[in-house]
Structure 1
């Protein structure tokens, strides 16, 4: 990533520290976007070449396609949740809508309609969900959608201010008359009047002024809502709200339900029980509808199936790179969006570091580009390890032609690109079938999630692992109904996959299903399948091993197998043959390096950085990130052109536990003015000293903010070191 740092040489060290240490993914996303739209990143500072421009265009097109697919998946997963929420809103405040013109009636119940959205612990993804929810509600139900966060509402006063200002702000956005906008702005400036009474008066005036017209002409839902749209209040992080603030707000809101159609939407990251912990029974004025979103692990599984376990996108990750992204997901944030950003970084790095990535595109385009390869590109293909292994297996005549004849080489590469595409088609079909068979086995010998099985198959031959044979033995103990359910899943996999080579296998699966359905269930088969099914229900290791031993003893005896057992063995043998034929690792394929990203260390460095090492490197050696030749020093000297925080940091390393601020300031000024020739008696010199003193104060403040120093009461003109030998 040296080119990245050189391209961004204007960034300050503290920004780079924030990028590498704090994992500020917003800055990271902006950085990636900057690099994606900077084609010069692919040129290493040289003039724009046709090869680098082609790689840039291919990279940009591929990422836009994958990004669109991920966004469509997100919308598809949110649709079910949003539909349930709309259905809940349609049922709420029925009496209010029936009597929307009568403001004196009292409703019997004071319970606030509340939708509790359990979104999971992937808090960083919640903003995207709430953003889509807000847009959907404003288009279909009501313009009055308010989003509140705990940090914005330290007390009830601030909460009501945020609530009223956002409600009126929504109204202003939806209206077109200037007089009403000015009136709302004047009201919003009078913060002392913000209360539920003020809001109810404003809401009544707005809805009555419109009469039978819609408050928002864009609303597409029921006409009853158009006359009196609800006020939807979204509390994004309910766990972070103060208990007293939340209780007071709910009590106040419940008193105005006959005037305001309030609906609460609670964003929950942990468990719905948090509502009962925050709200005692005395203030539980909530009619709660529980809505559960898809878990982040299931979301990741669907994302992998859409983006990686498919031949639609040629780009792939090797086992180590994929494992880095999965580990960050599982052990840090459970964020699918951050996983997508990591995948984006992998795509960028692959197209930048691999010149032959111009062939990482659709199959028809690959064939066209192969014929237009230059002599240098052909030589790069010959240097690929996968191609060298392929040449070694050829006859001497073909070896000479592959190494000397460009036309012959291009013909071979065209065939190998087609072979790689067919390999992926068959690989993913067999992988999904094997996962269908093994994902329900006791103890999950080959993994419960398909990502676990996928990583194992990327690493080595799966049939050589210790868990493979026990898994096959357990498959030979499946009951009839379980086996038929799995075969139905495999048939669906073949139907949804474009592969044609495995068409005969799909027909065999259908034949097995027909045979199982036609088998008459004899008493012997029922007893055998029943006992075997009972054995599979044991999930502890002792009973599992005992069942396997019993099965081996039965096989060693002369007991005749039933028809079902014979067919079951044939099914397992067929799956075993498919695995051994199609699930060999992708690094055995020619042109593997063209489509697979192998830079796991790059992902780990930028997405899972070590704070202490990166901080010390950034402050002690800014050249490592900025790549400015003026900052490079062979000895341990301090260049005067280094950022102020770096100079102050290196000077403080030379001090003991207590640092004299005066001496520190003088040393700082000496380093900064080392290369400057100024007259000490001139007026300009005094101004320069004041500027240098201000720069020193700022650098010290930044070091204190980072936690390297702190004020001390032992000596008034000293500060204390806190880390790395200073305690």
Structure 2
């Protein structure tokens, strides 16, 4: 019998004398897709430098945020099995991470490294994709423990075969390897995507691990993105009774985002800014689509890249606030770049404000003169953003806990408000100031202390930056604000004491009410007292002075919107929200329609180029032809008529032939099947020779 003949269908492999390769080729390193000319360009070097600084700040913030929960988890893992007795249940930790946290998997990789380095444990990270069945899950766990020990032993132990990867072999290997130790290491199994695991696999795996826990000290860690109720919905009682669950809660995504904005993006650390529309777009995507902090950061990075890619002049925003460095950067600008600066919208008000005609001519015609003036203008913009952020945090400290929060309570809400409009002219701001004016002495003084702490924070930040040799800003406006607010605080405190004593005296109604007074006489005296003009107390005047000072000397002066910003402010702000929306907000329905209706848009081939989107040519893909024909039909599509129309388009030479080419029919059948797979049509139960159109 021929060796390739079989009762059942199959594929027969002939090695033809080929042998297995003895060594694998080393994977090549991923090369940069950008050429040397791009990576050495002025804009790219500054972009890379700024993003590296932002990335460092983000990493430090992420580390500090997870430090506490990491310490608690390490204490939990290290404290398991200290009594050297198995209690009948598996010690299990449930880490509630929240959905779409930054680098969700990398969090657990960092946790695994910390457990290895800071506790006496062996760790294996098991993902759901590696555990389609219980058998494969156990093989993955056993292999992970053995390979980790092999790595620590410099490859001295023997590699186990696949048929040896079971818990019995792991038990023998574990006791043989650690028989000389008084205390043996824990075996920590981390499952970062608990919700994605098959419930049956999880249940069986936990029961099997529990049956071996008397000899193997297993510790389980579940990564849960939703809530702790997921554990009870996935695992029945007879399984949960075999684990001892400890819950650890990490910060929710919204709290994480607020921290990143307050400590990185909306600070002087980051000279690059987003306009109000652009900022609201990224925040709306976060709040209404995915709650992904990583997605927000990637969107910010994309906007940063788009901003720098516009030209060399837009890279000037990340140059340090130092005249020498700015002069060196300005010297690298070409004549075209200098002319682009003159085309900025904020450059015209500068020219119109000049009184000297010769200075106007120099600005408009002499490149060298403009280059000499650019460092001073850029330093002015840096200082504008420094006082803007300080005033923004001062306003937040003042209004964040007011009733109904007219201006919001988060810094991101105030930023989007203040960068788009003059906040002091809005009704919400006036409502906030009225609420502040109605506060008691203790409440106003408490808010003033918070405002002064913001000024002190920015002053200390600037001093530390000068010591490190980083960007230095002008702090004279902050020092003046600090002195004025301290004086106002002392006046309010003194006036408040007098106000309390005055109120106590006014509460004495003995001068109005007498024992023998009738009701009508009392009513007349109270009405006369109410009609008399009430004198404003010193406390009220001090509070009004405070509100007036903050409005006119701080917020109106320093919280100016982009339209009222200093010259060259466009170099520091990205405003093209439409471009970013088109690239980061997926529109799959429109993309599929464009691809099928006009394939040239994506393929860029000459054969698919159309003069009109509604036209049909034989060179279009079969799927595109069938799609465009189905758009011309109603809800019910006759397959025979559809086939004839398809045949007329793709085979014009034989369109009048009564005999149908089987190849054309096969091509049509395949196109219809693909349209059904994409969800544009479905088979009809009423008419067997018709299909039902599902879209549009």
TM-score range, shorter chain: 0.7 to 0.9
Higher RCO structure, 1 or 2 (CA under 8 Å, sep 6+): 1
Alpha-carbon distance between aligned partners in 1 of 2:223 and 2:128, rounded to the nearest angstrom: 11
Q: Deviations for 1:381-418, whole angstroms, at most 9, x for unmatched residues?
A: 21111101221222260333322222332333332211
Distance 1:331 1:520, change over 3 A: closer
**Residue 286 of structure 2 is aligned to residue 298 of structure 1:** no
Contact 2:629–2:642 (CA under 8 A) maintained in structure 1: no
How many residues are treated as equivalent by the alignment? 612
Contact 1:669–1:693 (CA under 8 A) maintained in structure 2: no
Contact 2:441–2:493 (CA under 8 A) maintained in structure 1: no
SS at match of 1:634: coil
Residue in structure 2 matched with residue 326 of structure 1 by the alignment: 283
- Within the candidate set 496, 515, 524, 2:500 is matched to 524
**Residue 163 of structure 2 is aligned to residue 189 of structure 1:** yes
- Within the candidate set 70, 74, 78, 2:62 is matched to 74
Residue in structure 2 matched with residue 315 of structure 1 by the alignment: 272
Residue in structure 2 matched with residue 133 of structure 1 by the alignment: 111
**Structure showing greater Rg:** 2
Residue in structure 2 matched with residue 459 of structure 1 by the alignment: 420
Deviation at 1:328, TM superposition (A): 0.3
Alpha-carbon distance between aligned partners in 1 of 2:33 and 2:501, rounded to the nearest angstrom: 65
Residue in structure 2 matched with residue 607 of structure 1 by the alignment: 584
Deviation at 1:355, TM superposition (A): 5.2
Residue in structure 2 matched with residue 258 of structure 1 by the alignment: 214
Distance 1:205 1:659, change over 3 A: farther
Residue in structure 2 matched with residue 120 of structure 1 by the alignment: 98
Deviation at 1:435, TM superposition (A): 0.4
SS at match of 1:264: strand
Residue in structure 1 matched with residue 224 of structure 2 by the alignment: 268
**Structure 1: which 5+ residue stretches go unaligned?**
1-32, 41-47, 97-105, 213-223, 529-552, 676-685
Q: Mapping of 1:180-219 within 5 angstroms?
A: 180-182=157-159, 184=160, 186=161, 188-190=162-164, 194-195=166-167, 197-208=168-179, 211-212=180-181
Distance 1:254 1:662, change over 3 A: farther
Contact 1:445–1:470 (CA under 8 A) maintained in structure 2: yes
Distance 1:520 1:53, change over 3 A: closer
Alpha-carbon distance between aligned partners in 2 of 1:622 and 1:447, rounded to the nearest angstrom: 47
Distance 1:711 1:300, change over 3 A: same
Q: Deviations for 1:661-706, whole angstroms, at most 9, x for unmatched residues?
A: 99759958974x999xxxxxxxxxx9xx98x999888766654443
Contact 1:648–1:668 (CA under 8 A) maintained in structure 2: no
- Within the candidate set 568, 571, 576, 2:551 is matched to 576
Contact 1:207–1:228 (CA under 8 A) maintained in structure 2: yes
Deviation at 1:88, TM superposition (A): 1.7
Contact 1:144–1:229 (CA under 8 A) maintained in structure 2: yes
Give TM-score scaled by structure 2 length: 0.77
Q: Mapping of 1:151-166 within 5 angstroms?
A: 153=131, 156-166=134-144
SS at match of 1:232: strand
**Residue 378 of structure 2 is aligned to residue 417 of structure 1:** yes
- Within the candidate set 48, 63, 69, 2:51 is matched to 63
Distance 1:663 1:645, change over 3 A: closer
Deviation at 1:587, TM superposition (A): 3.3
Deviation at 1:491, TM superposition (A): 3.2
- Within the candidate set 76, 83, 89, 1:88 is matched to 76
Residue in structure 2 matched with residue 21 of structure 1 by the alignment: none
- Within the candidate set 430, 433, 438, 1:477 is matched to 438
Deviation at 1:579, TM superposition (A): 0.5
Deviation at 1:580, TM superposition (A): 0.9
Q: Mapping of 1:547-566 within 5 angstroms?
A: 558=534, 561=537, 563=539
- Within the candidate set 367, 370, 376, 2:327 is matched to 367
Contact 1:359–1:594 (CA under 8 A) maintained in structure 2: yes
Deviation at 1:582, TM superposition (A): 0.4
Deviation at 1:354, TM superposition (A): 4.4
SS at match of 1:164: helix
Aligned alpha-carbon RMSD (Å): 3.9
Q: Which moved more, 1:339-348 or 1:399-408?
A: 399-408
Residue in structure 1 matched with residue 34 of structure 2 by the alignment: 38
Deviation at 1:559, TM superposition (A): 5.2
Q: Mapping of 1:296-695 within 5 angstroms?
A: 296-354=253-311, 356-362=313-319, 363-364=321-322, 365-395=325-355, 397=357, 398-497=359-458, 498=462, 499=473, 500-501=475-476, 502-510=478-486, 524=500, 558=534, 561=537, 563=539, 567-577=542-552, 578-588=554-564, 589-628=566-605, 631-635=608-612, 636-638=614-616, 645-647=623-625, 649-650=627-628, 652-653=630-631, 657-658=636-637, 660=639, 667=646, 671=650
Deviation at 1:336, TM superposition (A): 0.7
